[in-house]
Amino acid sequence: MEACLLQPRPRGAATEGRRYCTCRACAILYSMDSPQTASETWTVARLLRWTQAYFSEHKLDSPRLCAEILLAHVLGCERIELYTRHALIPDDVRRATYRELVRQAAAGRPIAYLVGEKEFFSLRFEVTPDVLIPRPETEVLVERVIHLAREAHSPIRSVLDVGTGSGCIAVSLAKNLPDVTIFASDIAPAALEVARRNARRHGVLERIEFRLGDLFAPWVGRAFDVIVSNPPYIARREAAALPANVREHEPHRALLAGEDGLEVIRRLVVESAAHLAPGGRLLMEVAWNQAAAVNRMLRECGWEEIVTHRDGLGHERVVQARRRAAETQVA
């Protein structure tokens, strides 16, 4: 069942020149605004049950979770609190707000954009349509950098996050590595503002240096112990196959990378060495089917100690490599 974008016909409304949805689900959705009876009271429990079924019909992933996130947002509470408020009856204004969010979610708008935030690495990050929505697989990047910093024989003092977007990687690293200075850049001014707000939200704004620019353009003459990046890596020819809620709402500049999806990764492989201290590490997120090609690319460019790390689904998601000790100086 595809998302229904048409409102049901209001009671007594003329039908000429308008199209209204007649499906039962949408009729119930809009009945959330109707006067309630004892047998049809829209309690928290009933709202969640109905929305879970509605989202299931509209093929949303994790329908119960989506319903809980939206309702907790409208009620201004934590998700866990919904279970102690199961008999609560939201007022008319909150019910109407919730109904509209449910409608937009069923129509394909990402839940994170509807509520304006997304959890990542146990922290909440502001997200807007200017930035990619943080995803669980990207947490592998953060985990590996933290592991490097804690296990390294020589101390890691600086980490650069290239293409920071929402700042979820940079902020998570700053929160977990208090002795490391974090640097972050992005080509989009609006994205950089979101990243700054997230750094301020989590109390690490003074520990992250943000700069605007493409890849290493803002960092001429600078070298870092670690460079980390979640670059765009989807081939343009594959864009049409992306889920509609991704394809139609998330920024394409953060998703698409040339005809084969490796356009930005190639630049990172070639240009990163000049901005790493001797023996420094490069870590990149890649598509589930790109690790072999990226490993080959790194070997051809003289990188050492190339390893891959799997995400929670078992996909080779993060590629890590070490700059040779004797390399050219910083560009």
d(CA 311, CA 324): 27
> 275 and 223 in contact (C-beta within 8 Å)?
yes
Residue spans per domain, the chain: 24-108, 120-322
The pLDDT assigned to 4 comes to 44
| Whole-Å CA distances, 98 to 42, 56, 114, 180 | 12, 17, 11, 42
In tens, the pLDDT along 239-267 reads: 999 999 999 999 999 999 999 999 999 99
Q: Counting every residue, how long is the chain?
A: 331
For residue 260, what pLDDT is reported? 94
Per DSSP, the three-state class of 203 is coil
Alpha-carbon distance of 274 to 280, in angstroms, equals 10
Architecture of domain 120-322: 3-Layer(aba) Sandwich (3.40)
Measured CA to CA, the distance from residue 129 to residue 199 in angstroms comes to 18
* Three-state DSSP class for residue 242: coil
**Pairing mode of beta strands 304-310, 276-285:** unpaired
Whole-angstrom distance, CA of residue 322 vs CA of residue 224: 12
Q: How confident is the model at residue 27, as a pLDDT?
A: 57
Question: What pLDDT was estimated at residue 5?
Answer: 36
pLDDT value, residue 95? 95
Backbone angles phi, psi at 304, to 5 degrees: -120, 170
The pLDDT value given to residue 154: 76
User: So what's the pLDDT on residue 25?
Assistant: 59
Chain centroid to Cα 12, Å, comes to 43
Q: Which of 145, 149, 179 is nearest to 162 (CA)?
A: 145
Rounded to whole angstroms, the Cα distance separating 100 from 132 reads 23
d(CA 130, CA 218): 20
To the question of pTM greater than 0.85 for the whole model, the response is: yes
Residue 75: the pLDDT is 98
* Binned average pLDDT, 10 residues per bin, the chain of 331 residues: 43 47 58 53 95 95 97 97 95 96 97 98 98 97 95 88 99 97 98 99 98 98 97 94 94 95 97 95 96 97 96 96 70 51
Nearest Cα to Cα of residue 23 among 63, 49, 62, 57: 57
The Cα–Cα gap between 123 and 129 comes to 19
Query: How far apart, in whole angstroms, are the C-alpha atoms of residue 119 and residue 224?
Result: 28
